[in-house]
Structure 1
Amino acid sequence: MKIIAFVLSLSLAAHVVAASPEIAATAVNALGLDLHRQMPKAGNVCLSPYSIQSALGMTYLGASGATQEEMARVLHFPKDKEALGESFAALNEALEEARENSAKEVEQMKKFGGSGEALKLHVANRLFGQQGYEFRETFLSSVKSHFGAPMEFMNFLKDHAGATREINGWVEKQTQKRIRDLIPENGLSKETRLVLVNALYFKAAWADDFNVQATAPKPFHVNGAKTTAEVPTMSKQEHMRYLNGSGFQAVTLPYAGNDLHFLLIVPDDINGVSNLEKKLTPETLLACAKADTREVILHLPKFKITPPTVPLGEVLQKMGMTTAFDKPQGSADFDAMAPKKPDDYLAISEVFHKTFIELNEKGTEAAAATVVVMTDAGAAAPTQKPIELKADRPFLFAIQHVESGACLFFGRVNDPM
């Protein structure tokens, strides 16, 4: 059985386009919320909707027929692959501009004696393909054009274990050692034919730091319990985008450069995070990004989430993406990726995802990577009274691109400790 693995990396492709990032941003947030609802209700959760959708978006460019229609429905993609690719390229372009703007702002501050740390948004994309395997040139050129993924040929037949180490090492390097062992043991074999790598590293300082001296132990309702535990909690008072929604309050904390921000969503009820997860929509996430500013006194726990690799294949099938996994047998159609033959065609066997995030007084550091493994199945400030918001109960969070509303990361904190 031949195996084709895609280890997909978030790519800020150097691709100038006139398209809008709206299609990609909407799909990113919609699938992110869908997947988040499928995660365990206990414990902390962190996903990178953008990394996942970038990985599946590249895979989608190789889908055909009923498989393409099914993926479009589940992943919230348009049927027009070119439109999707151009929209992702536009969103990537916007993120690259955010990184450049942050660097320019820091340089300008230094001219006047100031200091600061520019946004680090390192993204990389690469395909690792088996020498001599028959891939369609149209697929390879489309992935390279829209997602910036060059091809590097390898020989999985002779040394798949060495290839695994090399690719995992590459991902580790791209993510500043935050994502290790992305491809699990036995994830590749001598039958592997293609590995497409997606890795994202994010580190940003707050536009206005939290005062370390103001951080103090404060009560937190761990897992929504009535009793509380003392956790290190940061505090600040400033003008923030603020939304008083149905059953929740949300604020955004801008990072240096103001093109990206941290979105905090706190339910009104101590144990209300589950109900909030059920009703949250992409439109709500966008509304949070565009909310008016208010003066807010915020109390936010520090936290660090380092979840293990999460397999998403079963979840995606449960959501209705079955033929892509060749269920029923013979139904997978990735003919646009490589010719489909009666006894030799491609299907997804598993999707792996891994993230990291840490938030403190200085800012946020986060990283993510996604792997899609495929097999040959036949083979302005108001003057109102300040609002006080205490994140003293399980809450939701996102790292969000302000203009498009796209969430690079999305998660839940049940226990900051």
Structure 2
Amino acid sequence: MDYKDLKALRKPISNQTDVALKITKQLLESEFKDKNLIFSPLSIHIVLSLIAARTNNPQFLSFLKSKSIDDLNSLAFNLITSVLADSPSRGGPRLNATNGLWVDESIPLEDSYKQVVLDSYKAALNQVDFKTDPEQVRIQVNSWVDKETRGLIPEILPPGSVGSGMCLIFANALYFKATWDDDFFYEPPNSKDHKDCALEDFDNGTYADDPRYFSMLWLLPDARDGLPALTERVCSESRFLDRHLNSFTTVRVKKFLIPKFKISSGFEASGVLKKIGLGDGCDLMAIFHESVIDVDENGTTAAAATCAETWDCDGDFSKPKEIDEFVADHPFMFLIRENRTRTVLFMGQVLNPLSG
């Protein structure tokens, strides 16, 4: 996929980012109000899309801001095969985005859905026996997640979470590892109220061979206690990220200080999704999500996994200027995204870098 094709994905991905910010807002107002947070809205989105492709539930389409199942499937295909494709020979970030589906052997899957799972989502189909040995299914799913996240998430499904009455588990695993590119960062122009905003590039390897480039964005409010107000604006104002973070001035920074941190977060997402509009679409399922991130002087490693269990078996920059410093010495938000398409892979907040 070339640069022009990547840009064509911006509209559907913008809708996906809107959903991501709704989830973020709910998490920061409830389970993670006074805690560090890391999660992957993209991982959750892909799993919900897998479910929607089978059930054709209009609530899922509305929630995911998609016009049709075909549009959802097309977006998933483009994300998995282009935006998230691993290209180790080019020297850029290491990426792994995989999907899996565990189906009870007594449940017939329509041939059309099987084709979508295999072609659009590149997912592995696994026939299992929930009724006789649900614990073995749990172990199998956890082992798959552990492998696909390079050991960063060894257990997504806790003991007792898989029962004999289940029939389907939809899963996504996402892994990202990249080194910092250089000592540049970028600030959005005319951003008086949140001028301490930085974007640090990851090493992209052979740029001519790969139109993608990945960055980590740091959203640091001027006020030391200003994070709640900033997160409210980021998550509530329509197209905030598009308006404020897509036109940057290149800056060579004299002092760039960010803390090293390693944090992990986990939550059951069905209740969160129901509160923000999915309604009874997730009544007959449990959705487990786990994410981890490790940031140090070399770069960033992050991973996420989402598993949904269901009981419902019917369905170029200008010349850089210089600034003095960027010092993240108080609470901040962060995002990891691919900048051509503006795909948000991970986002979260850090209140205390010493607390995992």
TM norm. shorter chain > 0.5: yes
CA contact 1:19–1:87 (8 Å) conserved in 2: no
Please list, as runs of the form range in 1=range in 2, the aligned pairs for 1:177-326 lying within 5 A after superposition. 177-208=151-182, 238-243=183-188, 245=191, 247-248=193-194, 249-257=196-204, 259-280=213-234, 281=237, 283-286=239-242, 287-296=244-253, 297-307=255-265, 309-326=266-283
CA contact 1:295–1:382 (8 Å) conserved in 2: no
Q: Comparing 42-51 with 192-201, which one deviates more in the overlay?
A: 192-201
Per-residue deviation, 1:176: 1.2
Note if 1:53 corresponds to 2:45.
Answer: yes
Give the residue type in structure 1 aligned to 2:169.
V
Q: What are the superposed Cα offsets for residues 94-149 of structure 1, whole Å, 9 maximum, x if unpaired?
A: 3245x42x632x3xxxxxxxxxxx42111222212111312222222222222111
Larger radius of gyration: 1
Please list, as runs of the form range in 1=range in 2, the aligned pairs for 1:59-70 lying within 5 A after superposition. 59-64=51-56, 67-68=57-58, 70=59
What CA distance in whole angstroms lies between the structure 1 residues aligned with 2:314 and 2:41? 31
Q: Comparing 192-201 with 261-270, which one deviates more in the overlay?
A: 192-201
Q: Comparing 167-176 with 182-191, which one deviates more in the overlay?
A: 182-191
Per-residue deviation, 1:377: 8.7
What CA distance in whole angstroms lies between the structure 1 residues aligned with 2:241 and 2:231? 12
Q: Comparing 145-154 with 359-368, which one deviates more in the overlay?
A: 145-154
CA contact 1:20–1:91 (8 Å) conserved in 2: no
Note if 1:103 corresponds to 2:89.
Answer: yes
Per-residue deviation, 1:292: 2.5
Per-residue deviation, 1:378: 9.9
Per-residue deviation, 1:160: 1.0
Which residue of the other structure, out of 331, 345, 354, is the alignment partner of 1:394?
A: 331
Unaligned runs of 5+ in 2: 205-211
Q: What are the superposed Cα offsets for residues 161-202 of structure 1, whole Å, 9 maximum, x if unpaired?
A: 111111101110111111122112222122222222211111
Kindly report the root-mean-square deviation, in angstroms, between the aligned alpha carbons of the 2 structures: 2.4
Identity %: 24
| 1:372 match | 308
| 1:221 match | none
Which residue of the other structure, out of 119, 125, 129, is the alignment partner of 2:103?
A: 129
Q: TM-score, normalised by structure 2?
A: 0.86
Q: TM-score, normalised by structure 1?
A: 0.74
What CA distance in whole angstroms lies between the structure 1 residues aligned with 2:135 and 2:188? 50
Per-residue deviation, 1:47: 0.9
Please list, as runs of the form range in 1=range in 2, the aligned pairs for 1:11-160 lying within 5 A after superposition. 20-39=8-27, 40-64=32-56, 67-68=57-58, 70-75=59-64, 77-96=65-84, 99-100=86-87, 103-104=89-90, 106=91, 118-160=92-134
Give the residue type in structure 1 aligned to 2:289.
H
What CA distance in whole angstroms lies between the structure 1 residues aligned with 2:6 and 2:198? 31
Residues 1:36 and 1:388: Cα distance change in structure 2 (over 3 Å): same
Give the residue type in structure 2 aligned to 1:34.
K
| 1:404 match | 341
